[in-house]
Amino acid sequence: MSDQHDHKHGHEHDHPHDAKSPPAHEHGHDHDHDTGAEELTTLTSVGIDIGSSTSHLMFSRLRVGYPSFQRRQPQVLDRKVISRSRVLLTPFTADWAIQPEPLRELIRTGFEDAGLTPNDIDTGAVIITGQAARRANARKIAELFSDYAGRFVCATAGARLETVLAANGSGAVHVSRERGINLLNVDVGGGTTKVALIARGRLLDTAAFNIGARLVACGDDGRVSRLEDTGGKLLESLGRRISLGDELDGETRSLMAKKMAELLLKMLRQEKPPWDDFTVVPFSQSFSLADIDGVLFSGGVSEYIYGREAVTFGDLGPLLGQEIRKQTQLQGLRILETQEGLRATVIGASQYSIQLSGETIYVPDRECLPLRNLRVFPVGVDWERPVTERAQKALLAMVRAIDPEVKGDPFALAIATPPFLGYGSALELAEGIRKALLALRPDERPQALIFQQNIGQVIGKTLSNDFKLPCIDEVSLSELDFIDIGQPVDGEGFVPVVVKSLAFGA
């Protein structure tokens, strides 16, 4: 969705399933301690989606608990939308920079209508996506609203993350898991189309292409007011040349919509793209459409694919939706219904971006959190003797190999080990970490240590005489990840965590 096709054109126009639910905030982390293994804590989450066509917010209540007495890794057991904002046409200046003031007002009124304040927010995400993420001031906009929207809201963008959020928010992952089937979630927005390949509830692969309803758009006078580079190439492939200010006739609109729909199906068949930069993110593995049991659509254009919207907003949305439905059916693919189209990404941002640490963590001082946008550097350590020396060597090698361009940026070391062997081995690992940190200058040291196994508390306490480092565990990370770590949840032994990828344009 994120670079959503516009449905608001400056005014509110929600579908019945988008109507606001009455605010029912339970901040303060309500606990249901009479449920045995299902002890519950309530968190409030916000998703803010700033796309190349539309921007909006969604607030959710997350119920966190434990699946059983034996599994003490907290999980999000239930999610419920408590409020949706109006949808705003993303405001750009004449040179296509994002305008902050209308967005600031959207967020202010969104909180006000929800009956919430930034201090009520426990977790969430600001997602700048699609063409909007490529604008020069995208990073500054994200940082501005990350600070405004709560003490733990992350600023993030990137085609893969957006695809993952849309696939969850649309319900595709849930449907695939519950029915045990293979699905594609196709998220068609204003500037890009994102595809998720899902097998029995597991998201196997993602891809993104420069296909969208607002690659060419017209103002109220019918003249072209927006023309993306891909829109120009698409027109050239049809033997048409259109410039800003020209009229866009009905025949050209229909040809463009048909061409984009045909190209989308070619990409789903994994055929060669029409030009080099047509593909934003390629599929990383091969699959056959014969093995796909169904397709769910999300994003702004999905409202036309499913026939939930009839109004046109000066772009190719209605025609593109009709053509995609037609081409999908011609391919023999079954189209599955979904109730969340336009808002799929923001639902995902509000409800599915959060992870939870284990309970065996070490936080030296509550005020040292939250931490935002820590670049992750993974280190593999085993339990072979001598553990101390091997760990020290591995950590120092990783830190000293950090590229000069990012030296000095805040970072976390993600230390992966085989399953826990015992207290003695953990103490040896802690000593190796301590020696490595002492060998580094203060400005070379990480801001946090992340462990795959549940040894954060042991390591943190062992290091506490020399270093006051948050040590978080039971979180899996990889290179190129970034992580946000929230403050400890009141009355609980875990922290909310968001793992993300930042991909801002220049």
**Of 11-20, 285-294, 380-389, 412-421, where does mean pLDDT reach its minimum?**
11-20
Q: Which amino acid is at 236?
A: E
Domain housing 141: 16-158+348-354
Residue 6 has pLDDT above 80, yes or no: no
**Residues 219, 141: one domain?**
no
Judge contact between 376 and 478, C-beta under 8 A.
yes
Query: Which ranges constitute the DSSP H helices of 244-382?
Result: 250-268, 302-305, 317-330, 344-351
List of residues 6+ apart from 87 with CB closer than 8 A: 4, 6, 7, 8, 12, 13, 14, 54, 55, 56, 342
**Of 103-107, 161-165, 391-395, where does mean pLDDT reach its minimum?**
161-165
**Residues 177, 324: one domain?**
yes
**Of 144-153, 330-339, 417-426, 450-459, where does mean pLDDT reach its minimum?**
144-153
The length of the chain in residues reads 506
Mean pLDDT for the chain overall: 78
pLDDT band at 407 (very low <50, low <70, confident <90, very high): confident
The whole-angstrom separation of Cα 341 and Cα 126 is 19
On whether residue 460 sits in a domain, the answer given is: yes
**272 against 353, higher pLDDT:** 272
On whether residue 505 sits in a domain, the answer given is: no
Residue 501 has pLDDT above 60, yes or no: no
The fraction of the chain above a pLDDT of 70, given in percent, is: 74
Q: Which amino acid is at 292?
A: I
Phi, psi values for residue 463, rounded to 5°: -85, -10
**Residues 97, 190: one domain?**
no
Q: What is the CATH number of the domain that holds 167?
A: 3.30.420.40
On whether residue 4 sits in a domain, the answer given is: no
pLDDT band at 424 (very low <50, low <70, confident <90, very high): confident
pLDDT band at 27 (very low <50, low <70, confident <90, very high): very low
pLDDT at residue 378 in the model: 85
On whether residue 473 sits in a domain, the answer given is: yes
The whole-angstrom separation of Cα 209 and Cα 232 is 15
The whole-angstrom separation of Cα 360 and Cα 27 is 24
Residue 388 has pLDDT above 90, yes or no: yes
Choose among 433, 421, 414, 423: nearest CA to 458: 423
- Per DSSP, the three-state class of 291 is helix
**Residues 466, 486: one domain?**
yes
**Residues 398, 321: one domain?**
no
Mean per-residue pLDDT, 332-350: 67
pLDDT at residue 390 in the model: 92
Residue 505 has pLDDT above 60, yes or no: no
The whole-angstrom separation of Cα 74 and Cα 71 is 8
- Domains of the chain: total: 3
Cis peptide leading into 370, omega within 30 of 0? yes
pLDDT at residue 1 in the model: 40
Residue 359 has pLDDT above 90, yes or no: no
**Residues 190, 281: one domain?**
yes
Judge contact between 4 and 299, C-beta under 8 A.
yes
Choose among 282, 60, 85, 44: nearest CA to 168: 60
The whole-angstrom separation of Cα 59 and Cα 23 is 9
**Residues 330, 372: one domain?**
no
Characterize the bridge pairing of strands 123-128 and 224-227. unpaired
Residue 6 is encoded by which pair of tokens? 């516009």
The whole-angstrom separation of Cα 3 and Cα 481 is 23
On whether residue 341 sits in a domain, the answer given is: no
| DSSP states along 453-467 | SS-HHHHHHHHTTT-
Residue 139 has pLDDT above 70, yes or no: no
On whether residue 133 sits in a domain, the answer given is: yes
Characterize the bridge pairing of strands 496-500 and 482-485. antiparallel
> Kind and range of the H or E element at 173?
helix 172-179
- Using CB atoms within 10 A of its CB, is residue 285 exposed (0-12), middle (13-18) or buried (19+)? exposed
* Residue 137 to residues 150, 219, 383, Cα–Cα distance (Å): 21, 24, 46
Q: Which amino acid is at 415?
A: I
**Residues 114, 213: one domain?**
no
pLDDT at residue 365 in the model: 82
295 forms beta bridges with 184, 335
> Where is mean pLDDT largest: 113-127, 265-279, 376-390, 419-433?
265-279
**313 against 271, higher pLDDT:** 271
Residue 208 is encoded by which pair of tokens? 């993104």
On whether residue 475 sits in a domain, the answer given is: yes
List of residues 6+ apart from 11 with CB closer than 8 A: none
Phi, psi values for residue 105, rounded to 5°: -65, -40
**Residues 316, 418: one domain?**
no
> Kind and range of the H or E element at 423?
helix 423-438
Mean per-residue pLDDT, 328-350: 72
Characterize the bridge pairing of strands 40-50 and 31-32. antiparallel
The fraction of the chain above a pLDDT of 90, given in percent, is: 28
**Of 214-228, 351-365, 391-405, 419-433, where does mean pLDDT reach its minimum?**
351-365
pLDDT at residue 367 in the model: 79
pLDDT at residue 352 in the model: 45
Mean per-residue pLDDT, 144-163: 62
**Residues 141, 178: one domain?**
no
Q: Which amino acid is at 452?
A: Q
**Residues 122, 144: one domain?**
yes
| DSSP states along 342-371 | TTHHHHHHHHTSEEE--SS-B-S-GGG--E
Instruction: Write the pLDDT tens digit of every residue in 195-249.
Output: 999 999 888 999 999 999 888 988 888 888 888 888 999 999 999 988 888 988 9
Residue 433 is encoded by which pair of tokens? 């970490």
The angle subtended at Cα 340 by Cα 336 and Cα 346, nearest 5°, is: 135
**Residues 153, 223: one domain?**
no
Q: Which amino acid is at 122?
A: D
Choose among 394, 313, 296, 430: nearest CA to 8: 313
- Using CB atoms within 10 A of its CB, is residue 202 exposed (0-12), middle (13-18) or buried (19+)? exposed
125 forms beta bridges with 47, 154
On whether residue 151 sits in a domain, the answer given is: yes
pLDDT band at 252 (very low <50, low <70, confident <90, very high): very high
Point out the domain boundary residue: 324, 354, 384: 354
